[in-house]
Amino acid sequence: MILTVTLNTALDITYRVRALRPHTSHRVTEVTERPGGKGLNVARVLAALGHEVTATGFAGGATGRSLRDQLARTPGVVDALVPVEGATRRTVAVVDGTTGDTTQLNEPGPVIAPAEWSAFLDAYEDLVASAAAVALCGSLPPGVPVGAYAQLVRTARAVGAPVLLDTSGEPLRRGVAARPDIVKPNADELAELTGSHDPSVATRDARRRGAHTVVASLGAQGLLAVNAEGRWRAVPPRRIQGNPTGAGDSAAAGLLAGLVEHLPWPQRLARAAALSAATVLAPVAGEFDRRTYEELLDQVAVTGEATAA
């Protein structure tokens, strides 16, 4: 199975209103709720691709129960979330039906107690032992040590499970130093980590910091992957208009699927780029338009070269 870790899970709520006018009252015309947080989005995409996935992280309170109820109805995803005392945070996305724009309200999330973090580490140690790959995704909730991802990378590497790390800021900086197999920053996260806005310079620097493979998601410029074996760029055939939320999570799912299927890097990248583009057409993160995905899979242009052995 593939193990995804979401320490800062969320119940993602989407409200549609006719038009958002600050300081007035609105009747919400449509409400949707989904398990959220980057690792849960990755898990849902992997499951939709036919992979066995186990999702861990934290869940608590009434919102955590709602999240787990919904996860239980997601075929292919095994719930291994660790219960906590605090309530799982909500995120509320208010979609303006007139303009299509979204206003986002994100709760801070519960404080994780030291005993809860210890319980998670025990659960994680058991789970990585049978994982074909591990995804560590998203921000850290309050109470979790900033070096958490570094510790989780080391635990996975100790049992030989390859690790993808997708986070930002100081947790990324520390996590990279623990030598994960793949990091998947976007342009901003990569620049923040390395101090360089030049993707060639920045990916080289991120590798020097400890990542075996750096896959930078560069928006319309597609994906740039660099490792000891080579350097590739994958660009979808056309720009797709829609909701980019979750596109990066689908790219991560594509990379993990390619990894456990032992695909060569150009094929992994084609899959990640096609999934990412097909997610832009889906209404919510963690879902993708399957027809677009299958159609784009052969059309993604992958250029690059393997390093001479």
Contacts to a second copy by CB under 8 A = 15, 17, 20-29, 31, 61-63, 65-66, 69, 92, 94, 96, 99, 101-108
Shortest gap between Cβ of 62 and a second copy (angstroms)?
4
Beta strands in 190-258 (DSSP E): 213-217, 223-227, 230-235
Residue type present at position 119: A
What H or E segment, with its residue span, contains residue 256? helix 247-260
What H or E segment, with its residue span, contains residue 124? helix 114-128
223: its two tokens: 């994906």
**Cβ proximity to a second copy, 91 vs 196, nearer residue:** 91
Query: CA 158, CA 148: separation in Å to the nearest integer?
Result: 16
Shortest gap between Cβ of 81 and a second copy (angstroms)?
15
**Cβ proximity to a second copy, 20 vs 260, nearer residue:** 20
Q: Are the C-beta atoms of 233 and 302 separated by less than 8 Å?
A: yes
Tell me the CA distances in angstroms from 184 to 188, 291, 293, one per residue in order: 11, 25, 20
**Cβ proximity to a second copy, 26 vs 197, nearer residue:** 26
218: its two tokens: 């560069």
What H or E segment, with its residue span, contains residue 135? strand 133-137
Shortest gap between Cβ of 172 and a second copy (angstroms)?
19
Residues noted as catalytic:
249
- SS3 string, 47-58, reads HHCCCCEEEEEE
Shortest gap between Cβ of 89 and a second copy (angstroms)?
8
Q: List Cβ neighbours of 280 (8 Å cut-off, separation of 6 or more).
A: 240, 241, 242, 243, 244, 247
**Cβ proximity to a second copy, 3 vs 67, nearer residue:** 67
Shortest gap between Cβ of 72 and a second copy (angstroms)?
13
**Cβ proximity to a second copy, 144 vs 274, nearer residue:** 144
